[in-house]
Amino acid sequence: MSYIMQRYIIHLDNKGFKINDAKNLLNKARSLSLKGSIIRDARVAHTHIEFDVSIEREKIKELLKHLEEISPLKRCIEINEKNLEKDEAIRYARELFNEERYWECHEVLECVWKNSKNDEKYTIQGIILIAAAFVHIQKEEIEIAYNIFKRAIPKLRLDRYRGIEVVKLREIIDEIITNKKIIYFKI
């Protein structure tokens, strides 16, 4: 009998963990996982720890109980492609970014990016790259993040996009690259 794996993003409360704990958290989660489950990544945000998991739907509750040995459950999100209107997708992506849910932000914006053109397409791609850089920061892959930030700058072609001050984004990312110091911000 074959079972279908479903992908989840699991958030646990962050009770004092830092980005340099990401690898240890990933190893701990893997040691607590169930046979047949896949825990791809651990990412550390200020308010939560994020795990990217694939597991049979019937086993997710059991896995969540095991992972609560690390920290209490905050939320578990089943990953499905969302078909949102552009304005709704941008609003939702901003909300996700501002909650340091960068991987999810990236996924939502990719749907918008696919259906965009010209400078709008480039600007969305730049914002996606910024979210991707922060995903790498959450995994303590800082040099990778700096390289992605560098790729984002020329993509941010518009000055303002649907309520996002793109000029300000360029300034912040330039400062991060120049000073080699991570700055957390909201969009």
Instruction: Please give the chain's pLDDT, 187 residues, in tens.
Output: 457 899 999 999 999 999 999 999 999 999 999 999 999 999 999 999 999 999 999 999 999 999 999 999 999 999 987 788 999 999 999 999 999 999 999 999 998 999 999 999 999 999 999 999 999 999 999 999 999 999 999 999 999 999 999 999 999 999 999 999 999 999 9
Architecture of domain 5-78: 2-Layer Sandwich (3.30)
d(CA 106, CA 43): 14
Residue 2's pLDDT is what? 53
- The domains of the chain are located at 5-78, 86-179
CATH dotted code for 86-179: 1.10.3450.10
Q: pTM higher than 0.85 for the full model?
A: yes
- Do the two domains 5-78 and 86-179 of this chain adopt the same fold? no
Taking the C-alpha atoms of residue 60 and residue 63, their distance in angstroms, rounded to an integer, is 5
How far CA 82 is from CA of 73, 79, 92, 98, 107, in Å, comes to 24, 9, 11, 19, 9
Cα within 13 Å of Cα(109), Cβ side? 28
